[in-house]
């Protein structure tokens, strides 16, 4: 005789199935959200843009990224140019980091891979702490890239693969257009090309010592005069001729000029400051007749700023 199930028991089983189904749907939604956040850069995604107006494609091109991604990209570029690497090397490094980590300094990966370039401590790239320092990891990438004969003339996928030894070497190619766009801005060749607009609620008030320390860490000690280099404390006393909460970063004379004729070095420093605006509490950057304001972007100054220094004003 077939066994019958009491109505109350059937109702309980149906309710259990509905709860399991609902819980599974919630898990799928959460997983989808986390995936979107990972791909787009999470909090503050798409609040930075880099554009090109060179007309090579018949129209302007724009690439969007988060403040975190922009800050990491600016660090990668700064480390490269400080080592004397050409713009092509910066493009290769940025495309590699876009593929390996999405320009995020992640603490996980395949096996023991870490950081922007997914470098492995077990393979001699450094300690975990070192690899999670973007300046160190970028420096190690350039160190290995410089050992690749004729890397600047090789296809990007080949040059990157000689360093990374990836299981998917062709994956680097899809990032080359965006990496080239970023490199043109971050090396200073394309003026006023990077803009960030982080929400006011996420910007942390910084200090001049914090900005000086970050500049020296990314560009090396020669980026600032000795009397402006960070000593680990912020006395609140500005450099001579500067207002409180402002920093003047000298632009060294160079034969390289951006598309507007101003020294590339200045635009490199200016774009670095914009990229770091959320992390370092920067609200204004001025250079070569242009001024960037958080929330307003770049505009022409009525009273033109010179090309011998980049002026940075901090959130107070």
Residue with the larger pLDDT of the pair 132 and 242: 132
pLDDT at 5: 44
- pLDDT at residue 4 is higher than 50: no
Beta strands in 39-182 (DSSP E): 48-52, 61-65
Give the pLDDT band of residue 102 (cuts 50, 70, 90): very high
Of 2-6, 26-30, 216-220, the one with minimum mean pLDDT is 26-30
Q: How far apart are CA 258 and CA 191, in angstroms?
A: 6
Residue with the larger pLDDT of the pair 125 and 3: 125
pLDDT at 16: 61
Q: What angle do CA 47, 92, 136 make, to 5 degrees?
A: 80
Q: What angle do CA 84, 119, 269 make, to 5 degrees?
A: 35
What percent of the chain has a predicted confidence (pLDDT) above 70? 75
Q: What value does the mean pLDDT take over residues 224-240?
A: 54
pLDDT at 1: 43
Q: Spell out the residues 6+ positions from residue 35 whose beta carbon is closer than 8 angstroms to its own.
A: none
pLDDT at 53: 60
**Tokens at 214, concatenated:** 């970050």
**Which residues are 311's β-sheet partners?**
248, 286
C-alpha 159: how far from chain center: 21
Residue with the larger pLDDT of the pair 134 and 254: 134
Cβ proximity of 141 and 105 under 8 Å: no
pTM of the model: 0.80
- pLDDT at residue 166 is higher than 50: yes
Q: How far apart are CA 113 and CA 131, in angstroms?
A: 9
Give the pLDDT band of residue 32 (cuts 50, 70, 90): very low
Nearest to 98 by CA among 32, 31, 158, 157: 157
- pLDDT at residue 80 is higher than 90: yes
**Tokens at 114, concatenated:** 């870490």
Give the pLDDT band of residue 31 (cuts 50, 70, 90): very low
pLDDT at 139: 98
- pLDDT at residue 251 is higher than 90: yes
Cβ proximity of 251 and 266 under 8 Å: yes
Cβ proximity of 287 and 271 under 8 Å: no
- pLDDT at residue 141 is higher than 70: yes
Q: What value does the mean pLDDT take over residues 239-250?
A: 71
pLDDT at 29: 37
The CATH number, out of the four listed (2.60.40, 1.10.3470, 1.10.530, 1.25.40), of the domain defined by the range 48-187:
1.10.530
Q: Spell out the residues 6+ positions from residue 70 whose beta carbon is closer than 8 angstroms to its own.
A: 48, 50, 194, 196, 274, 275
Listed in order, the ranges of the chain carrying CATH 1.10.530 are 48-187
What percent of the chain has a predicted confidence (pLDDT) above 90? 60
> CB atoms < 10 A from the CB of 44, how many?
20
Q: What value does the mean pLDDT take over residues 84-101?
A: 97
Which helix H or strand E contains 275, and what residues bound it? helix 264-275
Mean pLDDT, the chain, rounded, equals 82
Which helix H or strand E contains 184, and what residues bound it? helix 176-186
In the chain, how long is the greatest CA-to-CA distance? Answer: 99
Which helix H or strand E contains 19, and what residues bound it? helix 7-40
- pLDDT at residue 213 is higher than 70: yes
Q: How far apart are CA 63 and CA 179, in angstroms?
A: 9
> CB atoms < 10 A from the CB of 227, how many?
7
Give the pLDDT band of residue 17 (cuts 50, 70, 90): low
**Tokens at 106, concatenated:** 């992640």
Q: The dihedral of CA 174, 141, 52, 218: what is its sign?
A: positive
pLDDT at 42: 44
Phi, psi of 128 (to 5 degrees): -55, -45
pLDDT at 43: 45
Task: Report in angstroms the alpha-carbon separations of 236 from 70, 84, 208, 242, 244.
Answer: 28, 34, 8, 11, 7
């Amino acid at each position: 005789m077939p066994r019958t199930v009491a109505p109350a028991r059937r109702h309980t089983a149906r309710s259990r199935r509905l709860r399991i189904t609902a819980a599974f749907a919630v898990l799928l939604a959460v997983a989808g959200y986390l995936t979107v956040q990972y791909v787009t850069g999470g909090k503050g995604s798409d609040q930075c843009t880099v554009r090109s107006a060179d007309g090579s494609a018949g129209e302007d091109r724009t690439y969007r990224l988060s403040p975190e991604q922009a800050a990491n990209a600016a660090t990668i570029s700064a480390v490269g140019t400080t080592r004397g690497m050409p713009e092509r090397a910066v493009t290769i490094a940025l495309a590699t980091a876009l593929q390996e980590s999405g320009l995020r300094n992640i603490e996980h990966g395949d096996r023991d891979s870490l950081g922007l370039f997914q470098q492995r401590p077990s393979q001699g790239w450094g300690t975990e702490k070192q690899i999670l320092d973007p300046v160190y990891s970028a420096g190690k990438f350039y160190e290995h890239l410089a050992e690749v004969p004729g890397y600047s003339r090789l296809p990007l996928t080949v040059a990157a693969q000689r360093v990374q030894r990836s299981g998917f070497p062709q994956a680097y190619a899809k990032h080359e257009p965006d990496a080239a766009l970023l490199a043109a801005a971050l090396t200073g060749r394309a003026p006023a090309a990077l803009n960030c607009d982080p929400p006011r609620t996420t910007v942390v008030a910084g200090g001049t010592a914090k900005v000086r320390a970050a500049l020296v860490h990314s560009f090396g000690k020669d980026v600032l005069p000795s009397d402006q280099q960070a000593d680990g404390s912020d006395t609140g006393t500005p450099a001579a001729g500067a207002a409180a909460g402002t920093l003047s970063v000298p632009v060294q004379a160079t034969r390289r000029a951006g598309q507007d004729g101003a020294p590339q070095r200045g635009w490199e420093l200016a774009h670095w400051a914009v990229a770091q605006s959320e992390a370092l509490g920067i609200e204004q950057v001025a250079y070569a007749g242009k001024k960037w304001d958080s929330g307003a972007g770049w505009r022409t100054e009525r009273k033109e700023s010179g090309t011998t220094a980049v002026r940075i004003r901090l959130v107070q």
